[in-house]
Structure 1
Amino acid sequence: MEKSGYGRDGIFRSLRPPLKLPKDENANMVSFMFRDSSSYAHRLALADADSGEKLSFREFKDKVSIVGSGLSQLGLRKGDVVLLFSPNSIYFPVCFFGIVSIGAVATTVNPLYTTMEISKQIQDSKLKLIVTVPELWDKVKDLGLPTIMMGMNGDSKSASSSIISFSDVFTMGVQKSPPEVIIKQTDTAALFYSSGTTGINKAVVLTHKNFMAAALMMTSDQELKGERHLTFLCLLPMFHIYGLGFVTYGQLQRGNAVVSMGKYTFVRMLEVIQEYKITNLPLVPPIAISITKENIVKRYDLSSLKEVITAAAPLGKDIMQECANKIPQAIMTQGYGLTESCGIATIIFPKERNGHFGSAGTLVPGLEAKIVNLETGRPLPPNQRGEVWLRGPNIMTGYFNNPNATKMTLDKEGWLHTGDMGYFDDKGGLFIVDRIKELIKYKGFQVAPAELEGLLLTHPQIVDAGVIPFPDLNAGEVPIAYVVCTPGSSLTEKNFMDYVAKQVAPFKRLHRINFVDSIPRSSSGKILRRELIAKTKSKL
């Protein structure tokens, strides 16, 4: 095997020490999370930067068990799906792990979603129960499902008979021990929705084993260095695999503390780093860009930071270097993963840090990769570009209720076809060049062009539409559209943008509309987005 990890069989293998997964087939992600916690029971597990509340590992473990018991007394059974619809808080992980501890399945949704977007997900996942907060109640109140309300005071009980307060669930849980449920590693723990290029959200099925394997992969470098009891800031949304899988679950199972932030502002982030002496800061590229550009950074004591991690979208070499210069004592790290790989695939190795900028890092332990030529299907050696394929114990089992989409993404040998174009260099560093998939990445959120095209086409005065990404310094990419209107249409760009804005979450809103006579399409009717992108570039 070469220094790159490339073997004669065309497979790249991890250069890190091997992965040690739990042997017991009945191990589940919650018991695994607390496997060593008795030895650090009084240490901080969770802190809430908004409310100031804190939980030690013992308190956290007790609360998860009580919530699991309360939910089972409400009739929740193994395999039932529960929606967590809430901003980050100390109770998000308590509820998430309470749900999965009794073999039920958790699914999440972005708090910015509209009622229409949420109801699609509810129908798809065959939901039994919603857990939410008062400020989001209006979006789910007409969906006809029993709802547990977090942070509800007693006097709002009269709002609806279908609402159960979180404190009532807690009281029920205290009275009885949680039921004995046998959960296998192969059982489903969560459904995370990922935007497909078809514009229809697909539910990624993640098992208990996926989460345990990914968590060990994510923290393998800490294991190697003997690091424990670090403090991670979770300002990334917990409804997303990066916030929930990498930051929350990955770190708590290692004995690290997680400080949650529900309301992000740049200044508040700096205050929280200073106040809680944050050691590890996982970010998305727009926030890393702000660190390089905002002079206010100098006013805060960020000396506790040991590591700044960026993922969810590629971050350029120059920005990484500038960020490293701004926080000189911290190591700059970049990682790459997908919802389908439970949030992890590569991360920069400690020895390479601050020296491998531009790379998304090397393969985590237990994961294999191929770079495949799109024309021939053959695996390629280092320094040649192709589609990135991944295989390992963290890879999803498929898309929920969607055998066709599963077949197109996961082959019979267990390879996940990521849809990302990239290559490995001679040292095993992965470089993501472009997405074969046509998703637009807005601040790490995925926006499917086809979904917006579908919406535009519902307008009576739009005949055809094509949506493409447009580069943006702060967001990475924003969606813009080309539209063909009906003859004599008097509507303006703003009219159409408002029409879409009313029906989608803010991050999916269109930032520009160009009026054209026709949308370029292939003979089979597919939109030739590259032509639209080229057209846009020629006007810049």
Structure 2
Amino acid sequence: MSKNCFNLKTMTYSSPRQPINLPTDPNLSLTSFLFQSTSSVADTIALADAETGNSLTFRQLKIHVSALSHSLLHLGIRRGDVVLLLAPNSIRFPVCFLAIVAIGAIATTSSPLYTLSELSRQIHDSKPKLVITVSELFKKIEALTLGLPLILLDDPSKKFGARVSSYEDLIRESYNSSDDIPVNRDVSQSDVAAILYSSGTTGRSKGVMLTHQNLIATAVAGAVDQDQNGEGKNVFVCFVPMHHVMGLVGITYTQLRRGNTVVSFGGRFDLEKTFAAVEKFKVTHLYVAPPVMVELIKRREVVIGYELSSLKYLVGGAAPLGKDLMQECTKILPHVHVIQGYGMTEACGLVSIENPKEGSLISVSGSTGTLIPSVESRIINLATLKPLPPNQLGEIWLRGPTIMQGYFNNPEATKLAINDQGWMITGDLGYFDEKGQLFVVDRIKELIKCSGYQVAPAELEDLLVSHPEISDAGVIPSPDAKVGEVPVAFVVRLPNSSITKEDIQKFVAKQVAPYKRLRRVTFLEKIPKLATGKILRKDLVSFDRQNTSKL
């Protein structure tokens, strides 16, 4: 292992990449930091809308952020106030986020797919002073935000009442061509910039407090490979939701800060529309969740109809990707580097990522790459709580300037997540190899404990979707009196498939140890997931418990 990857004395792993320099000015907002580095590309496209073709140059982006910042101050928003952003992806979403944090206010984002009860919990917890949304979601949010001012991103009419302002009107009223953003020198890098609610795939979500420093450090570290590999201006598609840390920070903020173009993609994912956007905007980087790669493999003939020569990287994230799945993608897109990374909301979206320049186009490691600069890690033995050397499985711990400040209004959960030495306890199971590559196995809470053995649902899910007649799958534990827990699967078959439950069980049994064999298979039309592709296992567990209780 490279000397700068693992320190035997401290049992700590670090990045093999060149060190980065982070800004030392304590009074620096992430908005000011972004525009410090984009003056040389002021007249190039910063944001574009894949569907409408509307766009903003970096100069226009700064003018719009400036105008909205002034309007927010006129609406009474001050440093430390929370503003709720509830909207689908658009080029206006980043404008709002950058304007909010520029004046020292705090942005909290929410999924347009949230139910009333989920929205109610977040609003009650974060107590926003203002809501920014779209007309389609107005009725959903109206009853929960009585008395709060609202801004509509998409409707300039006055039909929604006096407390509702139009985004277009606010930009027009405060517009000035000097792009003078009202810099608040009281804003500190240590101030909270965003409260992003963790996915809550197994339990109730918590508000993750990310500071200006967290986003600045992530932006610098997240673009380091492009810089050190000598790449010019790149183009990224963002159909990952901007309300999620991967869309907001990993793609949008990080790439804008580097001077790259971000193509906003709203609505549900569509393979044809995505490739059309790649062709139209000469996209170089495509970040996807595992279900997208599965769909690409199952519908590989779609690629033929599009000019995709601009595409250089297909990047997987949000959940572990199997080596075989990635290898199939390299066959479909032989000119593209297929890589993956690992991140979490609590680490500001990015922990490790593969550097394509260190491998070949056809070499797939199955790892999530090496740590980004400034982040260090330990692998902890679950029984002894002692740090482990390479190639030994344990819990992933992290430390560095990208790690969250804590959970909002939840000091108890914060204390459990971050120890006295500043190590964040991730709850993820993994290991480093001798090259410093991180392999993430699964969430510890989601491991199935069968006859004393640990079964990773992700391993079985990857095996299931490799079957030519299976489009998607989810695996959960089911209680068993004899062995503790057994793995059971929920499977989505391809249209016109005749595969049976018994066929699936035999397919898996031939390739795994006896304790990993599926004890039960249930067919579903769709696996419940977040927009990022993470499986909502708690929904599958609830469904399984309800159905087994009837047997």
Task: Tell me the TM-score range normalised by the shorter chain.
Answer: 0.7 to 0.9
Which AA in structure 1 matches 2:290?
A: P
Equivalent residues of 1:203, 1:399 under 8 A apart: yes
CA distance in 2, matches of 1:36, 1:133: 31
> 1:524 matched to which residue of 2?
none
Deviation at 1:474, TM superposition (A): 9.2
CA distance in 1, matches of 2:166, 2:535: 31
Cα pair distance change 1:373/1:189, threshold 3 Å: same
Aligned equivalent of 2:333, options 320, 327, 331 = 327
Equivalent residues of 1:186, 1:209 under 8 A apart: yes
Equivalent residues of 1:231, 1:279 under 8 A apart: yes
Deviation at 1:225, TM superposition (A): 1.2
> 1:147 matched to which residue of 2?
150
Deviation at 1:515, TM superposition (A): 5.0
Equivalent residues of 1:72, 1:178 under 8 A apart: no
User: Where do 1:196-207 residues align within 5 Å?
Assistant: 196=200, 199-207=203-211
Query: Is structure 2 residue 353 aligned with structure 1 residue 352?
Result: no
Which AA in structure 2 matches 1:323?
A: C
Deviation at 1:124, TM superposition (A): 0.3
CA distance in 2, matches of 1:435, 1:412: 23
> 2:517 matched to which residue of 1?
none
> 1:420 matched to which residue of 2?
428
> 1:244 matched to which residue of 2?
248
> 1:22 matched to which residue of 2?
23
Query: Is structure 2 residue 319 aligned with structure 1 residue 313?
Result: yes
Equivalent residues of 2:238, 2:264 under 8 A apart: yes
Question: Over the residues paired in the alignment, what is the CA RMSD in angstroms?
Answer: 3.1
State the secondary structure of the residue aligned to 1:142: helix
Cα pair distance change 1:516/1:153, threshold 3 Å: closer
> 1:31 matched to which residue of 2?
32
Query: Is structure 2 residue 520 aligned with structure 1 residue 513?
Result: no
Deviation at 1:269, TM superposition (A): 0.7
Deviation at 1:514, TM superposition (A): 4.9
User: Where do 1:276-291 residues align within 5 Å?
Assistant: 276-291=281-296
Cα pair distance change 1:513/1:378, threshold 3 Å: closer
CA distance in 1, matches of 2:491, 2:309: 31
Deviation at 1:200, TM superposition (A): 2.1
Deviation at 1:168, TM superposition (A): 2.6
Deviation at 1:389, TM superposition (A): 0.4
Equivalent residues of 1:34, 1:61 under 8 A apart: yes
Cα pair distance change 1:151/1:227, threshold 3 Å: same
Query: Is structure 2 residue 5 aligned with structure 1 residue 5?
Result: yes
State the secondary structure of the residue aligned to 2:349: coil
Aligned equivalent of 2:446, options 428, 438, 441 = 438
CA distance in 1, matches of 2:90, 2:488: 32
Which AA in structure 2 matches 1:330?
A: V
Deviation at 1:270, TM superposition (A): 1.2
Query: Is structure 2 residue 62 aligned with structure 1 residue 56?
Result: no
Which AA in structure 1 matches 2:291?
A: P
Structure 2: where are the runs of 5+ without partners?
448-456, 463-473, 477-484, 495-524
- TM-score normalised according to structure 1 size: 0.82
Deviation at 1:364, TM superposition (A): 0.7
Deviation at 1:62, TM superposition (A): 0.9
> 1:535 matched to which residue of 2?
none
Equivalent residues of 1:4, 1:382 under 8 A apart: no
Deviations 1:31-86 (A, max 9, x none): 11111211111111000012210111100111111111111110000010011101
- TM-score normalised according to structure 2 size: 0.80
Which AA in structure 2 matches 1:192?
A: L
Deviation at 1:153, TM superposition (A): 3.2
User: Where do 1:39-438 residues align within 5 Å?
Assistant: 39-143=40-144, 144=146, 145-154=148-157, 157-174=158-175, 179-182=182-185, 183-196=187-200, 199-263=203-267, 264-294=269-299, 295-349=301-355, 350-352=357-359, 354=361, 355-438=363-446
Equivalent residues of 2:380, 2:386 under 8 A apart: yes
CA distance in 1, matches of 2:548, 2:86: 42
Which AA in structure 2 matches 1:146?
A: P
Equivalent residues of 2:63, 2:180 under 8 A apart: no
Equivalent residue pairs, number: 474
Deviations 1:320-349 (A, max 9, x none): 111111111111110001000000111012
CA distance in 1, matches of 2:264, 2:181: 27
CA distance in 1, matches of 2:422, 2:152: 40
Equivalent residues of 2:156, 2:169 under 8 A apart: no
Which AA in structure 2 matches 1:262?
A: G
Equivalent residues of 1:73, 1:172 under 8 A apart: no
Which AA in structure 2 matches 1:291?
A: L
Equivalent residues of 1:237, 1:244 under 8 A apart: yes
Cα pair distance change 1:214/1:180, threshold 3 Å: closer
State the secondary structure of the residue aligned to 2:66: helix
Equivalent residues of 1:309, 1:332 under 8 A apart: yes
CA distance in 1, matches of 2:103, 2:251: 22
Equivalent residues of 2:87, 2:133 under 8 A apart: yes
CA distance in 1, matches of 2:76, 2:134: 21
Deviation at 1:198, TM superposition (A): 7.1
State the secondary structure of the residue aligned to 1:159: coil
Equivalent residues of 1:69, 1:172 under 8 A apart: no
Deviation at 1:289, TM superposition (A): 1.4
Cα pair distance change 1:412/1:118, threshold 3 Å: same
Cα pair distance change 1:32/1:60, threshold 3 Å: same
Deviations 1:178-224 (A, max 9, x none): 54412111011000001457722100000000001011111110110
Cα pair distance change 1:402/1:515, threshold 3 Å: closer
Deviation at 1:141, TM superposition (A): 1.1
CA distance in 1, matches of 2:548, 2:75: 58
Equivalent residues of 1:336, 1:345 under 8 A apart: yes
Identity of aligned residues (%): 45
Deviations 1:467-519 (A, max 9, x none): 998465799xxxxxxxxxxxxxxxxxxxxx9xx99xxxx98594643557879
CA distance in 2, matches of 1:437, 1:117: 22
Equivalent residues of 1:73, 1:173 under 8 A apart: no
Equivalent residues of 1:348, 1:356 under 8 A apart: no
CA distance in 2, matches of 1:152, 1:75: 22
Which AA in structure 1 matches 2:296?
A: I
CA distance in 2, matches of 1:516, 1:472: 16
Deviations 1:4-36 (A, max 9, x none): 811121101111101210011112111111112
Equivalent residues of 1:4, 1:428 under 8 A apart: no
Equivalent residues of 1:215, 1:245 under 8 A apart: yes
Deviation at 1:410, TM superposition (A): 0.6
Deviation at 1:367, TM superposition (A): 0.8
Between 253-262 and 160-169, report the one with greater CA deviation: 160-169
